[in-house]
Amino acid sequence: MERRSKIAYGLALAAAATLTLAGCSGGGTPDAGSTTAAGNDYGLVSAGTLTVCSDIPYPPFEFEGGDNGTGYTGFDIDMLGAIAKKLDLKLAVQDVGFDALQSGTTLASGTCDVGASAMTITDDRKKNIDFSDPYYDSLQSLLVKTDSGIKDINGLSGKNVGVQQGTTGESYAKEHAKGANLVQYPSDGELWPAIQAGQIDAILQDQPVNLEHEKADKSYKIVETYNTNESYGFAFQKGQKTALLKAVNGALKDLKDSGEYKKIYDTYFTAK
């Protein structure tokens, strides 16, 4: 009698364990696409939300406006909005300084999950941050007033040339704008008013951004572009966001394959 009771008790325990395991590995598992699962898998700053850091304004890549609930829009923001949707995540955007973002400081602090700020993939930056696959190819350019008499980079000697601190545009200007007085600004939000106020004679920065200024005011023009073989990537904390990086790359590929990437691209870069 005692032996039979122990056997029955053991069988009951085994059955309970089997049911528990079945519940864990079967229909009880959260959907891999759910925000809860995604938050756990990706180690997000805020569960269920893809938090993006960007230096704003930098049109057409990021600027105030839009109807996505973040308060910001632009090519970078729309791209990550589409990626977040594919990952079943909400989108949040924080405005941060570019220099701290490109150096990896902002990402290492845990302020956000991903950096998106028209950031060129470079070997120096790879030492401190991880990059997604490239999502945009860019040129550098020189913007001046139409009556400035400046025709190319060789005419910048003795001129005040505005550059954004910590950017590839600044690096290019240091190497090629011989005799120019380079004036550093934290973002395009200061560069554009500076040239309008006559504080600088030219802006050397990414071609799409200067093109926006040329479109906005016909008294300015791009006189030269420079092929620097630059590609932009989304940035992640070094060695800490492997799963999220893989997921973003997968979503980016899906957007390109489906044609959705081209639709977003054409919204901002097709000639109008």
The predicted-structure confidence for 59-99, as pLDDT tens digits, reads as follows 999 999 999 999 999 999 999 999 999 999 999 999 999 99
The predicted-structure confidence for 19-66, as pLDDT tens digits, reads as follows 343 343 333 333 434 444 445 679 999 999 999 999 999 999 999 999
- The structure tokens 């920065």 sit at 205
What are residue 242's phi and psi, to 5 degrees? -60, -50
CATH 3.40.190.10 fits 35-135+233-269, yes or no: yes
What distances in angstroms separate CA 64 from CA 36, 39, 210, 263, one per listed residue?
29, 27, 18, 20
Level-2 CATH architecture, domain 139-229: 3-Layer(aba) Sandwich (3.40)
Across the strands, what pairs with 203?
143, 162
- The structure tokens 């309970």 sit at 16
b/e map 223-246, b = 16+ CB within 10 Å:
bbebeeebebbbbbbeeebeebbe
Closest CA to 236 of 35, 61, 101, 63: 101
Q: What is the pTM of this model?
A: 0.75
CB 168 within 8 A of CB 140: yes
Amino acid at 132: S
Q: Provide the pairing of β-strand 160-164 with 90-95.
A: unpaired
Closest CA to 246 of 124, 87, 115, 102: 87
Amino acid at 72: Y
The predicted-structure confidence for 184-221, as pLDDT tens digits, reads as follows 999 999 999 999 999 999 999 999 999 999 999 999 99
CATH 3.40.190.10 intervals, the chain: 35-135+233-269, 139-229
Extended strands (E) in the chain? 49-54, 63-64, 72-73, 90-95, 114-115, 129-131, 136-145, 160-164, 181-185, 202-206, 220-232, 235-237
